[in-house]
Amino acid sequence: MEYTRLGTSGLKVSRLTLGCMSFGTPNDFQPWALDDDAAAPFFKQAVELGITTWDTANVYGGGTSEEIVGRAIREYASREQIVLATKIYWPMSQNAGGGGLSRKAILEQVDGSLTRLGTDYVDLMQIHRYDPDVPVEETMEALHDVIKAGKVRYIGASSMWAWQFAKMQTTAELHGWTKFVSMQDQYNLLQREEEREMQGLLADQGVGNLIWSPLNGGTVARPWGDTSSSRAASTPATDQFGRPLFQNSDKAIIDAVERIAADHGISMATVGLAWALKNPVVDSPIVGATKERHLTDAVAALDLALSDDEIAALEAPYTPREPTFF
């Protein structure tokens, strides 16, 4: 495993992050989620492979993902060994502090995450989205306060317009509050809109980049039209985690991934992740795992150097689409 600093911060992360949205109590929204016993092999495999950055969120599994992650850290690693990241914003209840980024919500939801995770602190607390209903001054001061209280080591943001992120960073800087060290946004061969503004902003400001859905929910890892996985076969109501509306160009991209994978004798997932990892802005793609090969294929991407011709074949068919902020 390789390790890198998250942007220009001092926080070192593994070049691959274990995504924990797949772990939790199965429900109508995530029928494919894995409970403790089913998730255990992937936590153990991640530790063995050196994937020591783990990312979850309070809303995953209605809080059960954080509980499972917390138990896994105590069972298979040590708290100091894991760079633990979680997220707050989406509603956990209908109470006044149940969701959003008000001061009340941030203080309550940070404490809730710590309780479920069974830890005194989180290494990276991320806001899951921008909250247009709360003044950014209120949000940034509250995040600064949980840092000063020792409950959070670093803060990050996720999926928003570049101007919104810049506004929040500038507000923190003007008041002497803690700034975000990272952005977690969607980036893959079928969703490259972050190249237009956000990635330039991150590079200029030295902000780290954790990318979610680097294989577009597995679409990049399967031949075009293949719905053999449980998530791919799910109804749209239960599996629309950030997938862009498909364009006519997407088949050509997936066909290129399949062709390059065959040429190298490797998986399509390895090709898709190698393409994302070549981007100097990307620090650590977040990889979900429900099969043993998911993590081994991801690690193999660290050693794959795509040729200029291969990169051109992967990128040329792309057509613009709406960013995914849902």
Residues with a catalytic annotation lie at 60
Q: CA separation (Å) from 46 to 17, 52, 80?
A: 9, 7, 15
Three-state secondary-structure class, residue 236: coil
What are the structure tokens assigned to 220, written together? 């990049």
User: DSSP secondary structure string, 75-109?
Assistant: HHS-GGG-EEEEEE-S-SSSSTTSSSSSHHHHHHH
| Strand-strand pairing, 3-5 and 12-14 | antiparallel
Query: Which DSSP letter does residue 34 get?
Result: B
Q: Who contacts 147 (Cβ-Cβ below 8 Å, separation ≥6)?
A: 153, 154, 155, 178
Task: Give the torsion through C-alpha atoms of 249, 254, 256, 262, to 10 deg.
Answer: -170
> With left for phi above 0 and alpha for psi between -120 and 50, is residue 35 left, alpha or beta?
beta
Place of tokens 């099969």: 291
